[in-house]
Amino acid sequence: MDISTLVILSGGLFLGWALGANDAANVFGTAVGTRMVRFATAALVCSLFVVLGSVISGAGPAETLSKLSEIDQSVHAFIAVVSAGFTVFVMTRFGLPVSTSQAIVGALIGWNVFQGIETDSDVLRKIIASWILCPVLAGLIAAAMLPPLAAVMRILNLRLFVQDVTVRWALLAAGAFGAYSLGANNIANVMGPFIHVIRPPSISLGSFFLNPTQVLFLIGALAIAVGVVTFGRRVMFTVGRNLFQLSPLTAWVAVVSHAIVLILFTSKSLATWLDAAGLPQIPLVPVSSSQAIVGAVIGIGLFRGASSIRWHLVGGIVLGWLITPICAGMLCLAALISVQMML
Strand partners, 204: 209
Q: Facing residues of 208 across strands?
A: 205
How far is 239 from 246, CA to CA, in rounded Å?
A: 10
Helix (H) or strand (E) holding 293: helix 289-304
C-alpha span between 335 and 241 (Å, rounded):
37
Per-residue pLDDT of the chain (343 residues; tens, 9 = 90+): 667 777 888 888 888 887 887 766 678 876 776 677 888 898 899 999 999 999 988 877 887 787 888 887 888 989 999 998 888 888 777 766 677 888 899 999 999 999 999 888 888 988 888 888 999 999 999 999 988 988 887 888 777 777 778 888 888 998 899 899 989 988 988 888 888 888 888 888 777 788 888 899 999 999 999 988 887 776 666 655 555 566 778 878 888 998 999 988 888 888 788 878 887 778 888 888 878 888 888 888 888 776 666 777 777 777 878 888 999 999 999 999 999 888 7
In sign, the C-alpha dihedral spanning 51, 285, 127, 27 is negative
Contact between 81 and 301 under an 8 Å Cβ cutoff? The reply is: no
Query: What is the rounded distance in angstroms from the CA atom of residue 87 to the CA atom of residue 99?
Result: 10
- φ, ψ (nearest 5 deg) of residue 205: -130, 95
Distances (CA, A) of 174 to 54, 96, 237, 249: 17, 23, 18, 11
Domain extent listing, the chain: 3-342
- Chain centroid, CA 159 distance in Å: 36
Q: What is the pTM of this model?
A: 0.82
Alpha carbon separation from 116 to 76, 77, 109, 113, 315 (Å, rounded):
14, 16, 10, 5, 35
The SS3 call for residue 208 is strand
